[in-house]
Amino acid sequence: MNARRIAFAAVAAGLLAVATPALAQGAVADKWRWLTFLVFGAIIGTTMFVTYLAAKRVKSAADFYTAGGGVSGLQNGWAIAGDYLSAASFLGIAGLISIWGYDGFMYSVGWLVAYITVLLVIAEPCRNIGKYTLADILAYRNNPRATRIVGAISVITVSTFYLTAQMVGGGVLVKTLIGIDYEISVIVVGVLMLGYVLFGGMVATTWVQIIKAVLLVTASIVLVIMVWSQYGFFGDFLNNVIADPKVQARVAQILGDGAKNMTPTELGTRFLEPGLLFKAPIDQISLGMALVFGTAGLPHILMRFFTVPTAKAARISVIWAMAIIGGFYVLTLFLGMGSAMKVGADQIRAIDPGGNMAAPLLAQALGGGADSLLGNFMLAFVAAVAFATIVAVVAGLVLAAASAMAHDLWVGVIRSEHVTPQEQVKAARIATVIVGAMAIAIGIAAKGQNVAHLVALAFAVAASANFPCVLLTLYWKRCNTGGIVLGMIVGTLTAIGLVLVSPNMTYPLAVRAAQEKVVAAETAKLATLSTQLAAAADAAAQDKAKAAIARSEKAKGAAEAQIKALGDSRTSLVGLEKPLFELRNPGLISIPLGFLAVILGSLFYRDKRALDMWDELYVRQNTGILASKAAAH
């Protein structure tokens, strides 16, 4: 244990040494960088100290995977919130609201409603039946070897998609905020996360998630109170949104020609009404299905229910998580709209087109702007929370993937459960290193790729494969090995397959056509601008025309560069010229198919064990008798 703790200290020191010289320009000015490092250092230092303490408590595989089942309901509720409020939902939703108004807020609702499914039909039975992993639940009454293999593959697939999105998003975020090189950012996130998981297992991961969730909620409450003190509470706040010139200009920009006959108040009011962002309702419904059923199949969320001692504690933890996550999204409404007024959509989009910088920029503006100490302190704090968010979510994901690899595949399938407790812990740590190294490698390899849809894909696979299998093995007597194997395969393959032929992929012909249009438009614009420049009467008009020409040339150059980057390619990754399938999210098709596959697979397969074990499983999932008890500490 001592050697391990020394190794941990060495890793921590090495990280600082690597990170310090690799600085470039970020959202934080050079002058204030010391402040950013101070806040980052304080937060990382706290989590490292917790890991150091936790390392003493991690002795068995149960400690490593589930913190020995010794986490309380309240603690687990905060940890679930910490695991779930990834950078995508924390920064992304505030950004969507600041740029698109009502539609962004509507988007957040599905992320909370998802927990009703978790609360009602998943959390307690899983606590009563499972031990460490999702596949434990599947293996209970089905053929353990077969279901562990398909379960583990699905868990690793879902976690890898999610992990890739987090690593790439994290690298970009850290680079945008403090200007550390992308590759270094990815390595720092990866190594820090490995430090937590490897040395502190689930105990440290849980505490990192709790600390991060508390910081996130605190930061949001402080920001929202500051927003309210400037723009008023609910009714006054919304009146201010409607009357805000930046908001009105943004709506006019979105509506284009449609905004010609609208008064400024009408434009402002439109920001609070649906339809600015989402044009295809069927896509929204499909994404909603993936969220509402997919959350209950996310391995890193399911795993959290094995860390509490009883089903009742699992229930309490979901209720706390719902209170925290829901309250957070309500606050996000004010953060997003506050940012739309205080910072403005143009400035937010100038730094990041997806809007991810809305909350950090709001913090800086509320504190007094880019030149003030308080403004930069608040920016640094929000940035550090965002960083902690990524590390905490990645830690949970790596633990889930590593447990599937070590517990299900190695211990369960390869060694047929014949392993000593020491070997189990060792396997868990080796798997963690493998998954962690993989995460870093994928993060670096996927640099510059658009990975935003990978989170949605993770939810879609979880909803189409994991959720039907877990739900039906727990509640349907006839469900058996045949159904689980077929359901996992069909659910995973259709979800991924439909995305591969969907509009999410890059279609060179469509991109080229769109960019050629931009080039043509900008060329025409340049022609009119140059006649304007020639006709300009005074210096002010000349400067204005020159600036417009520069903007236009930049846009033209960017479009030409994109066309050039496409080269001669005509087809997407899977050889298509245009999407075969118009839905961006496959849930609407792949979730029913997943269920159908489990049902048909079960009906066409005979499995006496699954039927014989039904009474035992059903009594146990409802009563909690003989559920693995918390290890004594």
Partner 1 sequence: MAETARVDWQAIAADPRFQELHRKKSGFLWGLMIFSVLYYFLLPIGAAYFQQLFSIKVWGPVNVGLLFALSEFVVAWGIAFVYSRRANTVFDPMAADIVKDIEKRYGVKK
> From the CB of residue 417, how many other CB atoms can be counted at a distance below 10 Å?
8
User: How far apart are CB 456 and partner 1 at their closest, in Å?
Assistant: 15
User: How far apart are CB 187 and partner 1 at their closest, in Å?
Assistant: 39
Among 148, 199, 173, CA closest to 484 = 148
Give the nearer residue to partner 1 in terms of CB position, either 103 or 408.
Answer: 103
Among 470, 467, 505, CA closest to 289 = 467
User: How far apart are CB 599 and partner 1 at their closest, in Å?
Assistant: 17
Give the nearer residue to partner 1 in terms of CB position, either 186 or 316.
Answer: 316
User: How far apart are CB 297 and partner 1 at their closest, in Å?
Assistant: 15
Backbone angles phi, psi at 572, to 5 degrees: -75, 180
Q: Any bridge partners for residue 180, and if so which?
A: 23
Rounded Cα distance, 62 and 46, in Å: 25
User: How far apart are CB 376 and partner 1 at their closest, in Å?
Assistant: 34
Rounded Cα distance, 523 and 93, in Å: 36
Give the nearer residue to partner 1 in terms of CB position, either 325 or 406.
Answer: 325
User: How far apart are CB 212 and partner 1 at their closest, in Å?
Assistant: 23
Give the nearer residue to partner 1 in terms of CB position, either 278 or 581.
Answer: 278
Handedness of CA 321, 327, 330, 336 (dihedral sign): negative
Give the nearer residue to partner 1 in terms of CB position, either 140 or 182.
Answer: 140
Check if the beta carbon of residue 127 is closer than 8 Å to that of residue 310.
yes
469-488 residues labelled b (16+ CB within 10 A) or e (exposed): bbbbbbeeeebbbbbbbbbb
Give the nearer residue to partner 1 in terms of CB position, either 235 or 448.
Answer: 235
* Residues of this chain that bind partner 1 (CB under 8 A): 102-103, 105-106, 109-110, 112-113, 115-117, 119-121, 234-235, 238-239, 241-242, 269, 272-275, 278, 281, 284-285, 288, 292, 312, 315-316, 318-319, 322-323, 326, 329-330, 615-616, 618-619, 622-626, 629
User: How far apart are CB 324 and partner 1 at their closest, in Å?
Assistant: 11
Give the nearer residue to partner 1 in terms of CB position, either 128 or 494.
Answer: 128
Residue 200 token pair = 């502190």
Give the nearer residue to partner 1 in terms of CB position, either 119 or 599.
Answer: 119
User: How far apart are CB 629 and partner 1 at their closest, in Å?
Assistant: 8
Rounded Cα distance, 233 and 219, in Å: 18
Check if the beta carbon of residue 339 is closer than 8 Å to that of residue 94.
yes
Backbone region of residue 597 per phi and psi (left: phi > 0; alpha: psi in -120 to 50; beta: other values): alpha
Collapse the DSSP code of 607 into the 3-class scheme (helix H, G, I; strand E, B; otherwise coil) and give the result: coil
Check if the beta carbon of residue 368 is closer than 8 Å to that of residue 374.
yes
